[in-house]
Structure 1
């Protein structure tokens, strides 16, 4: 453990020394629409920034925070082996599927989108556009290749007018110039700057009215690593984290520039967000900038709205009116004595709320709750109240600091309205789903309790019922107002090998369960489907966008890699399976018959399967998404798009996608 901690500190210092911004060569002006963001204090000047960060350094919080994270992760590894609602897919206008999103009307970027006739795919540093419908005429109509410009697309949005491509860009290897000094500034000692590269979040907007002649309308770049984005009608919102070089700021005389961005409306000119426009949260100072940008695509010539905070973000949730950014905080002063052998650091979640209005982002309120959140589904907004589920403590501990799970309800000002605490001690949250006046929470350690929680009175939430079953659910998806589908893993419980009386749960194949919560006091597991053996996995277990679901069409599909044990041994229940299938599983699902597997569609041919090893296959043919347009089902991998009839699943057509020339 000591070696792990020392190694991490060394790596942290080396990374700090290597990440020096290059934006000093840019024009220090700002043409963007920058908001005042309420009554938050501003950084004001570079001198003030150094003072704020110096206070942070004195407390050593930023270094101790990351050290503890590594130590806790290592201990967890030794304690655990792995351990009438309508779906957003049904809410699409027209008879074609849309990305499975958390909130209806709030689009989320994905690697594949369709507009009902064409399909758009992020594919090996390219975006490929197919004419997909009718399937008999399927063909590639355009390829946007970014290899030469050093842009790496990650996600896309598509609407009737625009294709929006979001990714990472890397600036040219150029040296820093001597910084501009103000008249009243004291002379500074400058050292020869090194050459290096800076990571940027980049957005490219295309006019796609003519699919054979797609034109690039606008580009926008801003510093930082891409955290997430949302698109609400024609408004696009982007969130990034930019690491601050605290060593260079505090230990050298070279001035570090404030956050920079480039908007093609202003050509190649680089703009900066002035320090008197950068705000900070007094109780949540970070060695990082949280940068949020908004673009109104309906007014494509309008300046970008950009705002920056001396802060950071871990997860985001967005309703149509508000954006919430959460950050894990480590309360060292309120924790027990810092003991390297078995530390306990109290963690809380800071919540930052921002108003969204046609591409304009404005800070609204700040709140805080105990514990940490799992992901975006741990949060929800309903009738002006913000609901959030957290886990406190550690699941691997058996003392008073063992894990406990909580649900908090905050009002519009992020003040506490109601709460339920100490749910399932010793377990942690694996999935949460908020549905109107109810919440469903899955916790896990050796069995899977599904909790049904009543939120009708936000000041007095209460647990209505729970169900304990083997396995766990990583993702919960609504079937209707009284039924919910859980996607996760099957598990078996075996005694620990350390001679204690405790047991451990070991995951097996993928598990799908349909729960009936009509009687909220007695939820029931109606149907269960187990796929494959130990080692089986699906992107759906960590990315909800991999699910295709339509209650109206009685359709459910997702990509999966199936591992099967060929020679099962009774005395070895922990055998890993061998590779047996990769592709899409397509189900009919209803309340009478449960899950009915209708078809397995793979892009691998017989030769591919014969070549596949125990754990290996042609990854270029990994099915990533399943979509439908009218009466046709499409499966897409990096190497192929295949069309099947939606009624009989008979194959209509398929085309192979060529690899880039540089591969």
Structure 2
């Protein structure tokens, strides 16, 4: 077995010792539910060091056998949004109105800001020309994304990896990398870099409330293991225990540097900012940073840290939730029992300053992604799929004494299938599962203690994203499939969910052999309710452009496939509306079209 496998297979079952006193839960978990989880602060740096070192050393134990029903899952879809106020320009298609999410394109009603290939560009939507360009000189390799406030842009670039250590069966190396956060001034003719933050770890995600962005970064312990050929596993374990024992405390604490105006300041996470769950959730250091986009320079982000893993970030108006799917335990080792469940941490968000830890909990099974979570009327709704039998459920959690406690569940959805998309809209929920057919389940969540399935619609194919398009109407974007479950091309379905007991498909548009980026990233969708226009990128054997549809009443009408007349423009990535003009964005240029007729009126090449 490889050395990484020895490490991670044991971590999957390793608890952390308690470091502060904590009594029993005030409310026992419901039968069949995962136990509640709670965060506690470390008493001291010495206690933090002791527990982290003990956890790492104890990880070298024989792994348990693989159960027959253990299986890995892929990533999926997204969703959830109330009505937005009428505007002259469109924003990013996000999970919750008023909570912005990073994307490759932003606009403020007068300019379009894009980032690709490590270069930020600004397009004036009135003059219809590129007016600014800035080479960001990024060292992080992930596709950069943007947030925008006033004349400032915040650029986020991922520099880490999903799994802490790389394995070639003989040598282990840290795989953290360094992620980057850049503050850019857009006020002048040329964009200007104000500050650059570089910090250990991978960028998980970010959310923006007003001018404040909360950035979540996960870093791994920086253990150095020398190359030793192919020694026996027993010798490997003994030698590595010694390396861990000798590793300084700093190996667990991520560092950063901030460069502003030619001056560089350096810092390291203080152990007083670190908390941990009562039970083990990973050796990663998950930290939440706060940056004000209206500031003139970046600080250290006033970090709040948790010894835990984190994969999915969901933000509501006043909360930030981070969920740990614990997929790394299965993917890194290929061994061991499936995780007990998914850990969820909630932080409350003040208008400015440091987030505050409020509560944590655990739900059985795995989340699809951030859109499997939704906060409503003081409760968190969570959709999960079981690790063991692929049956799905929607669970309702309530905060009690620092814990997220399950108060109700609707179980048994799509047994033998997995969730492909979720949408929560007020007191209702919609879940799509798929294996060979696509059951669209509608749920009544009005009574948190008694969530229930009210209706089911079975059709071929599946929806990977559910988009509200008016009262009691949903658009499903995904793949049509044969009766055996083989995908055959992009499908866009219009659903009527007026009757919770009888969801119906009203119309369908197919692109045989097609695929849309919107199936995996709903930021790629434009929904413009003023004239019922939906635009999404679609590629097939004939074209790689934007598909424009109009939703009118009970019908989906194809308007056109948008493609610029210029050559070598690259695939369409995003579409947005500014001042009565539809802008379709590629990595090499921006196509301007008349919003009513969709005729091309300009092409702005990005140089």
Shorter-chain TM range is 0.7 to 0.9
After superposition, give the CA deviation of every residue in 1:548-584 in whole Å (9 maximum; x if it has no partner): 001222110001101xxxxxxxxxxxxxxxx211100
Matched, 1:328 2:325: yes
1:549 to 520, 527, 530: 527
CA RMSD of aligned residues (A): 3.6
Are the equivalent residues in 1 in contact too, given 2:39–2:276 (CA < 8 A)?
A: no
Are the equivalent residues in 1 in contact too, given 2:173–2:224 (CA < 8 A)?
A: no
Helix, strand or coil: the match of 1:251? helix
Matched, 1:638 2:587: yes
Q: Which residue of 2 aligns with 1:179?
A: none
After superposition, give the CA deviation of every residue in 1:612-661 in whole Å (9 maximum; x if it has no partner): xxxxxx6x611111111122111111122111111122211113223xxx
Q: Which residue of 2 aligns with 1:103?
A: 96
Q: How does 1:458-477 map to 2 (within 5 A)?
A: 458-477=448-467
Q: Which residue of 2 aligns with 1:183?
A: none
Q: Which residue of 1 aligns with 2:604?
A: 655
Matched, 1:259 2:237: no
Helix, strand or coil: the match of 1:276? helix
Helix, strand or coil: the match of 1:545? helix
Are the equivalent residues in 1 in contact too, given 2:477–2:493 (CA < 8 A)?
A: yes
After superposition, give the CA deviation of every residue in 1:25-76 in whole Å (9 maximum; x if it has no partner): xxxxxxxxxxxxx971317336743543433542558x95999999834xx7
Matched, 1:128 2:105: no
Matched, 1:119 2:106: no
How many residue pairs get aligned? The number is 540
CA drift at 1:87 = 5.7
Higher relative contact order (Cα pairs below 8 Å, separated by 6+ residues): 2
After superposition, give the CA deviation of every residue in 1:192-217 in whole Å (9 maximum; x if it has no partner): xx99996222211123233x043333
Aligned equivalents of 1:417 and 1:148: distance in 2? 46
Aligned equivalents of 1:228 and 1:242: distance in 2? 13
Helix, strand or coil: the match of 1:411? strand
CA drift at 1:368 = 0.7
Aligned equivalents of 1:289 and 1:196: distance in 2? 14
Aligned equivalents of 1:234 and 1:472: distance in 2? 37
Aligned equivalents of 2:283 and 2:63: distance in 1? 13
2:435 to 424, 441, 445: 445
After superposition, give the CA deviation of every residue in 1:271-298 in whole Å (9 maximum; x if it has no partner): 1122233221120241211011012334
CA drift at 1:479 = 1.3
After superposition, give the CA deviation of every residue in 1:433-470 in whole Å (9 maximum; x if it has no partner): 00000000001111110111001111111111111111
Aligned equivalents of 1:197 and 1:385: distance in 2? 37
Q: Given the two structures, how large is their TM-score scaled by the length of structure 2? A: 0.81
Give ranges in structure 2 of 5+ residues lacking alignment. 10-37, 161-171, 226-239
Q: Which residue of 2 aligns with 1:34?
A: none
Give ranges in structure 1 of 5+ residues lacking alignment. 14-37, 171-193, 394-400, 494-503, 563-578, 609-617, 659-663
Q: How does 1:63-462 map to 2 (within 5 A)?
A: 72-73=71-72, 91=84, 94-133=87-126, 137-147=127-137, 154-168=144-158, 199-210=177-188, 212-246=189-223, 250-252=241-243, 253-255=246-248, 257=250, 258-264=253-259, 267-298=263-294, 300=296, 303=299, 304-329=301-326, 345-357=338-350, 358-393=352-387, 401-413=388-400, 414-462=404-452
Q: Which residue of 1 aligns with 2:236?
A: none
Aligned equivalents of 2:205 and 2:544: distance in 1? 29
Are the equivalent residues in 2 in contact too, given 1:41–1:279 (CA < 8 A)?
A: yes
Matched, 1:45 2:45: yes
Are the equivalent residues in 2 in contact too, given 1:489–1:508 (CA < 8 A)?
A: yes
Instruction: Identify which range, 542-551 or 475-484, moves more after superposition.
Output: 475-484
Helix, strand or coil: the match of 1:415? strand
Q: Which structure: greater helix fraction?
A: 1
After superposition, give the CA deviation of every residue in 1:162-211 in whole Å (9 maximum; x if it has no partner): 111111469xxxxxxxxxxxxxxxxxxxxxxx99996222211123233x
Aligned equivalents of 2:458 and 2:565: distance in 1? 39
Q: How does 1:510-589 map to 2 (within 5 A)?
A: 510-533=490-513, 536-562=514-540, 579-589=541-551
